[in-house]
Structure 1
Amino acid sequence: MQNDKHSANIKDVAALAQVSTATVSRFLNGNLNRMSDATAERVRVAIDKLKYVPNSAARQMTTKSSKLIALIVANTDDYFSTELFKGVSSILESNGYIGTMLDSDSDLQREKNLLAAVNSHTFDGLILQPFSTISTIENIMRRRAPIVIVDRETPQSPWPQVVTNNFDAAREATAYFVKRGFSHFIVLTSDLSAATNRRERYRGILAAATNVDVLEVSEASYNHRDIHEKLIQLLTKTDERTVIFALKERWILEFVPNLVLQGYIDNVKATATGFADTAVSRRLEPKMKLISQNPFLLGASAAEVMVQALKDGGEQNDDVIVVPAKFK
């Protein structure tokens, strides 16, 4: 038996509303100033009655806009990425855009693949938390679309950046502990060479302390017990008062609680600090002083820059916007 169901198209809507297809198209694209309120209401009623779903591909061909913005984050295992996306979405959606989050999973090749995918699809813009160099991004992103760098200071970037004051915040926190008699620092971090924000934080620590050990944790695969034992070895190898300085909140949450429970961190002989994205880390040990950054605000600020670039027809500058982290 032949299926008599018929999906409504733009001509059906125009016929029912007694307007032209151009008028329906203007309604769908939000150009209501070019029609009367009565006409707009007839089109709306016709769309509802016919349950018409606009063909987004066809609309993109006409408007040259998908209203989609790609956000490539470093690792969705981090609270940072989730809060960043919330901030981005809050601004994009209020301006008629939709954010799509893509996860590079701390893998450089995966990031390159995602960049290529964004380049070949109809995203209106890209907000990027990059591992790749500027030249790599430029070589892959051949299509003209606004780009905003977020969280990673990127020298010689031709695009605007929204970052945290990583160096200054790390130096301030380190100086605070040095002034209070802590002289040994254990930097707990992902691969230092992979991301500029980590290197800036490390530089800030070195600017205020001389006795610094580094313990790198692979984001791809690591043995929790092995890292825990290495931390204990570093904590007990000296009589100096020691600070474990985590360069991201994930490592605070992974490794500090057991050290507190076992008495290695007592806030007298040893303590911990680091960059925190949420209030969770502070609840582990209320006496810990942490560097609170605001990924939601970073994301919202990056989205504001993106929306302005889209309003300006894709024109961009190389401004650097700093959203300060607070040591408290």
Structure 2
Amino acid sequence: MTDENKKNSIDKVASAAGVSIATVSRFLNGQLDRMSEKTAKRIQNIIDEMNYVPNAAARQLMTKTSKMIAVVVANIEDYFSSEIFKGIDGIAITEGYTPVLFDTNGDEQQELYLIDKINQQNFDALIIQPLNVDANMIKKHLKRNIPVITVDRLLENSEWPTVVSDNYDVTKNVSNYYLSKGYTHAVIVTEPIGTVSTRRDRAAAIKSVYPDASLVEVNAKDNVAKKVKARIFADVDKKEKILIFALKERLVLKLAARFRQDFTNANIKLTGFAESDVLFEINPGLKLVRQNPFKMGVTTGELILSLLNSDEASVPAVTVVKADYL
């Protein structure tokens, strides 16, 4: 705190405005319904004249709240995760909350480490795009009783509200569409499915339509197009019409970049999931499942604010944000 701000403390603001310290505190915490408009304007004018900046630590001690929300995402380099955070941020700041971003970088142990750190700080709430699949694992590290909402992925043993896309339904609808167009075999391209609910649901939806679908699991170092091409030649009759269904935008992007070169057969069709405009600009002819991570973030932000603003707030156990097929 600067010397000027030490001198211009809350009691001096209250004295200059002719009100109590409690009234200034209410003003600083946005409780304007507990004072007249005239009083609020007078306090604001005094604050501006005195160049007074509230001490955040002192306010936390008085109000038992930090006005900060911890947001843990799976990988900030993914457009999906960054758009979720933008959506949360855009809605949270309207009620004076500051979202603080934590990036697990796709590492389950890093996620638990970050939750330990969050547990030691005075965050008012937690929003998490989880990597660990069991809520009990997260609860072991988050010992404070604060509102929690999960986004994008479902957790086992969880009573926390969650916001997700309609992964299973939209994937099944797209699969049925291509089956009706004569594509008789599907190749699923995904990062290792493991227990990640989004990948599991999408793969299950495809297999509900294509029971004999080929599964190609890839990692960051793989030549995705080469691996998919090898599987097609190994598993599929050359006369069959083949649907390549990539479960993540990054994988669609890698395949689209090589599609005309490596997949010259007119009977092969590429589709998958996308969130940004990049793929549509590279290949306008692609039809893709378009999620709305920004809207998911906004929805999550609205729900967490409901929980923060009322101890008796009731929010849905699962909120589904619809995806489109464009």
TM-score, normalised to structure 1, is 0.89
CA RMSD of aligned residues (A): 2.2
Q: CA deviation at 1:318?
A: 6.0
Classify 1:110/1:314 alpha carbon distance in 2 versus 1 (closer, same or farther; 3 Å): farther
Q: Which residue of 2 aligns with 1:138?
A: 139
Classify 1:90/1:281 alpha carbon distance in 2 versus 1 (closer, same or farther; 3 Å): same
Q: Which residue of 1 aligns with 2:227?
A: 230
Aligned pair count reads: 320
Q: Which residue of 2 aligns with 1:56?
A: 56
CA distance in 1, matches of 2:297, 2:244: 28
Query: Do 1:309 and 1:315's aligned partners in 2 also have CA atoms closer than 8 Å?
Result: yes
Classify 1:317/1:39 alpha carbon distance in 2 versus 1 (closer, same or farther; 3 Å): closer
Aligned amino acid, residue 154 of structure 1: L
Classify 1:146/1:265 alpha carbon distance in 2 versus 1 (closer, same or farther; 3 Å): farther
Q: Which residue of 2 aligns with 1:193?
A: 194
CA distance in 2, matches of 1:314, 1:191: 40
CA distance in 2, matches of 1:59, 1:163: 35
Classify 1:50/1:230 alpha carbon distance in 2 versus 1 (closer, same or farther; 3 Å): same
Q: Which residue of 2 aligns with 1:171?
A: 172
Query: Do 2:10 and 2:21's aligned partners in 1 also have CA atoms closer than 8 Å?
Result: yes
Q: CA deviation at 1:200?
A: 0.6
Classify 1:295/1:281 alpha carbon distance in 2 versus 1 (closer, same or farther; 3 Å): same
For 1:181, what is the secondary structure of its paired residue? coil
Query: Do 1:158 and 1:317's aligned partners in 2 also have CA atoms closer than 8 Å?
Result: no
CA distance in 1, matches of 2:283, 2:271: 10
The correspondence for 1:294, drawn from 292, 295, 301, is 292
| Runs of 5+ consecutive residues of structure 2 not aligned to the other structure | none
1:250-308 per-position Cα deviation (integer Å, ceiling 9, x unaligned)? 21123322223x15166x32121111112322233222221111111111111111111
For 1:188, what is the secondary structure of its paired residue? strand
Classify 1:28/1:210 alpha carbon distance in 2 versus 1 (closer, same or farther; 3 Å): same
Corresponding position: 1:46 with 2:46 = yes
For 2:194, what is the secondary structure of its paired residue? helix
Q: Which moved more, 1:136-145 or 1:280-289?
A: 280-289
Aligned amino acid, residue 320 of structure 2: V
Q: Which residue of 2 aligns with 1:283?
A: 281
For 1:72, what is the secondary structure of its paired residue? strand
Q: CA deviation at 1:315?
A: 5.5
CA distance in 2, matches of 1:67, 1:305: 15
Classify 1:265/1:111 alpha carbon distance in 2 versus 1 (closer, same or farther; 3 Å): farther
Aligned amino acid, residue 232 of structure 1: K
Classify 1:314/1:170 alpha carbon distance in 2 versus 1 (closer, same or farther; 3 Å): same
Alignment map for 1:310-321 (pairs within 5 Å): 310-313=308-311, 319-321=317-319
For 2:209, what is the secondary structure of its paired residue? coil
Query: Do 1:265 and 1:272's aligned partners in 2 also have CA atoms closer than 8 Å?
Result: no
Q: CA deviation at 1:67?
A: 1.2
Percent of aligned pairs sharing the same letter = 37
After superposing on structure 2, the runs of 4+ consecutive aligned residues of structure 1 that deviate more than 4 Å are 3-6, 314-318
Q: CA deviation at 1:6?
A: 6.2
Q: CA deviation at 1:13?
A: 2.1
CA distance in 1, matches of 2:307, 2:230: 51
Q: CA deviation at 1:194?
A: 4.3
Aligned amino acid, residue 305 of structure 1: L
Aligned amino acid, residue 45 of structure 1: N
| Runs of 5+ consecutive residues of structure 1 not aligned to the other structure | none
Q: CA deviation at 1:146?
A: 0.6
Alignment map for 1:102-117 (pairs within 5 Å): 102-117=102-117
Aligned amino acid, residue 135 of structure 1: N
Q: CA deviation at 1:122?
A: 1.2
Alignment map for 1:91-102 (pairs within 5 Å): 91-102=91-102
Q: CA deviation at 1:32?
A: 2.8
Corresponding position: 1:23 with 2:37 = no
Classify 1:265/1:27 alpha carbon distance in 2 versus 1 (closer, same or farther; 3 Å): farther
Classify 1:26/1:175 alpha carbon distance in 2 versus 1 (closer, same or farther; 3 Å): same
Q: CA deviation at 1:81?
A: 0.9
Classify 1:119/1:6 alpha carbon distance in 2 versus 1 (closer, same or farther; 3 Å): closer
For 2:82, what is the secondary structure of its paired residue? helix
